[in-house]
Amino acid sequence: MKKIFIKCLISLVLVLISCKESKSNSKSNESTKTNIVELIKTKTDLELSENFEIIKDTVEHTEEAFDSDYSYELTIEYKESDSKNIKEQILNSKFFDTINSTNYADPIWEIIDSKTNKGIWTYDKNGFEFLHCDNKKNRPEPFYLTVDTITKRIELILIHL
């Protein structure tokens, strides 16, 4: 009798936990979109609407790291109606396509770093790529962001060291 009671109690707790998780997951999707929009704006100054679909949103923690090291991969698909706005923001950004190299030894990066602490947009084979500045702000959390204008996808890889 005691074993049956314990099994029932454990089952009840598991059901309650799963119900709570499903409620929080439905609410968190909208806050996730808000967080994604804010993250991309903070890193690149690109302003997005929340009118997109999340294709991939994963975090991988580095096992046995001294600090809480992790990598974050995100892929979103934006709507055709947002294409023009995204392209215009990138094409009108500061120092657009000044350099197409992450060779931070190139002297042009000193000029770019003196004018912006985020980075610059440049052309990519399928759209645009954001090249982040190699400065104190970005070194602990380097990131790589591309806008594919053919597939209407934005991909972000962020590494927290």
Tokens in use for 24?
Answer: 């929080």
Taking the C-alpha atoms of residue 149 and residue 20, their distance in angstroms, rounded to an integer, is 39
pLDDT tens per residue across span 15-69: 334 433 333 443 445 558 999 999 999 999 999 999 999 999 998 877 765 667 7
- At 18 the pLDDT is 41
pLDDT tens per residue across span 30-39: 558 999 999 9
Residue corresponding to tokens 């609410």: 27
Query: What is the pTM assigned to this prediction?
Result: 0.74
Q: Is 53 helix (H, G, I), strand (E, B) or coil?
A: strand
Alpha helices (H) along the chain: 2-44, 83-91, 108-115
Question: Strands 70-78 and 143-148, how do they pair?
Answer: unpaired
- At 128 the pLDDT is 96
Q: Does residue 137 register a pLDDT over 90? A: no
- 119 forms beta bridges with 132
Which residue type occupies 21? E
Kindly report the backbone phi and psi dihedral angles of residue 90, in degrees, each rounded to the nearest multiple of 5, phi listed first. Answer: -70, -50
Q: Is 74 helix (H, G, I), strand (E, B) or coil?
A: strand
The average confidence (pLDDT) of the chain is 79
- At 46 the pLDDT is 96
- At 14 the pLDDT is 39
Q: Is 159 helix (H, G, I), strand (E, B) or coil?
A: strand
Taking the C-alpha atoms of residue 43 and residue 75, their distance in angstroms, rounded to an integer, is 15
Which of 45, 52, 51 is closest to 121 using CA atoms?
Answer: 45
pLDDT tens per residue across span 78-117: 999 999 999 999 999 988 887 767 777 778 778 787 788 8
Residue corresponding to tokens 């934005």: 154
Q: Compute the chain's Rg from CA coordinates.
A: 21
